[in-house]
Amino acid sequence: MIQEANEETLIRVREVSRCIMAAFLALIATVLTSFLPILNKHLLRDARPALVAWITNAASLPILALGTLLLTQCSITSLHGSIPLSCTAQIPHVDVIFVAALLASTLLNWAATLLSTFALEKADASLVSPLLTFNPAFTLLIAWPALGEAPGLRQSLGVAVVLFGAYLLDVEEARTGLLTPLRMLLQRPGSLLAIVASALWGTTTVLEKLSIDHIMPPSGPVVALLGTFLLVVLLTPVALRPPRPEESSRGKNTWHGLRLHRRALCGAVLLAGVAPLFGFTAIALGLVGYVTTLFKLGAIFTILWARLFLGEGQARSRLLGACVMVIGGVLVAM
């Protein structure tokens, strides 16, 4: 009897430890990725969106591969006072569900990545980032007809709070009419693209979690590496096509625009390679709903960075709107 109680206590302690570690890793990934829109905004001044999306993901593959190798194939063991690093090849086992979920999530990520990058080119980073926090609401609304999962009162309230947060993003326009903030929001270039991208990303995390559950041993970094590789393959034809005449006239040719912002490019590549290692490991360890909700905090950080590094305006209303949207996301995920 005592032994069973001790085993149950040990299991609970392990579960709590996993949740704490998942939250810690998710927060690290959130802070790191919150800088990406700022760096990409610099690159988009002189380079095409598809090229920016492609180069940051393609160049980050070696970093992601090295991190995946160290996390999944290597271990540190203490021996005779030294700390040697031993690595052994372990080929993971996958099934059909893994392949299907990975391909589906990659396709949705491809579309969402392009849409969000085009949105970032057209609109402020402090506006695009909060709009990308819509996806918990989209996930809830999609699951209702598709899976028969009717939302409860708390989840419905969360969706309403998310929509109210979106209203607050342009609340300064309310003096001219009650619905003016929403109308102005939808009329801003890039807003609709960001909302559609958020809707697509509303299902990718679930598919990625499904992929992690169907690889043995379960490994978030492996899924991140394979997903990024397939994403780069899909982005390559769009990114490396010859520039159109109007793009050349704006100075957005293939490589010169990237060379003008070498520091921003290096920073974006480094973050794109390191952040997924933390993010996918957090997804593997924790509950997907809670982890993805923590990811949404990145919008708040991005608004602060946009004000600090890009000088974007409306920081107060957008920060307020982003905070309210995050609260709504928490209600949806609980």
Q: What confidence tens digit (pLDDT) does each residue in 74-124 have? A: 665 555 555 565 667 678 888 898 999 899 999 999 999 999 999 998 888
What is the band of 54 on the pLDDT scale with cuts at 50, 70, 90?
Answer: very high
* Stretch among 2-6, 50-54, 58-62 having the lowest mean pLDDT: 2-6
Count of alpha carbons within 13 Å of 4, Cβ hemisphere only?
A: 1
Is residue 332 within 8 A of residue 158, CB to CB? The reply is: yes
Residue 177 or residue 212, greater confidence = 212
| SS3 call for 179 | coil
pLDDT band at 266 (very low <50, low <70, confident <90, very high): very high
Whether residue 239 contacts residue 54, with contact meaning beta carbons closer than 8 Å, is answered with yes
87 vs 143, residue with greater confidence: 87
Q: Is 139 exposed, middle or buried (0-12, 13-18, 19+ CB in 10 A)?
A: buried
Give the residue from 309, 283, 317 showing the smallest Cα distance to 30. Answer: 283
Of 45-54, 89-98, 219-228, 321-330, which gets the smallest average pLDDT? 321-330
- Give residue 38's identity as a one-letter amino acid code: I
Average pLDDT, the chain: 80
Greater confidence, 272 or 139?
A: 272
Q: Which long-range contacts (CB under 8 A, 24 or more apart) does 286-291 make?
A: 286/18, 286/19, 286/21, 286/22, 286/23, 286/26, 287/19, 287/22, 288/205, 288/206, 288/209, 289/136, 289/332, 289/333, 289/334, 290/19, 290/22, 290/23, 290/333, 291/22, 291/23, 291/26
Instruction: Using the predicted structure, report yes or no on whether residue 251 has a pLDDT greater than 60.
Output: no
- The stretch 141-160 carries a mean pLDDT of 67
Spatial contact of 136 and 158, defined as CB atoms under 8 Å apart: yes
Asked if the model's pLDDT at residue 332 lies above 70, the reply is: no
d(Cα 135, Cα 117) in Å, to the nearest integer?
A: 17
Residue of 247 and 280 predicted with greater confidence: 280
The pLDDT, as a whole number, for residue 248 is 60
Q: What mean pLDDT comes out for the span 257-270? A: 89
More confident residue, 117 or 126: 117
Neighbours of 158 (CB within 10 A): 25
What burial class does residue 182 get, using C-beta atoms within 10 Å of its C-beta: 0-12 exposed, 13-18 middle, 19+ buried?
middle
More confident residue, 260 or 182: 260
* CA end-to-end distance (rounded Å), the chain: 34
Q: Indicate whether 5 pLDDT > 80.
A: no
Question: Where in the chain are the domains?
Answer: 2-72+103-333
Q: Indicate if the pLDDT at residue 139 is higher than 90.
A: no
Q: Examine the pLDDT at 232 and tell me if it is beyond 90.
A: yes
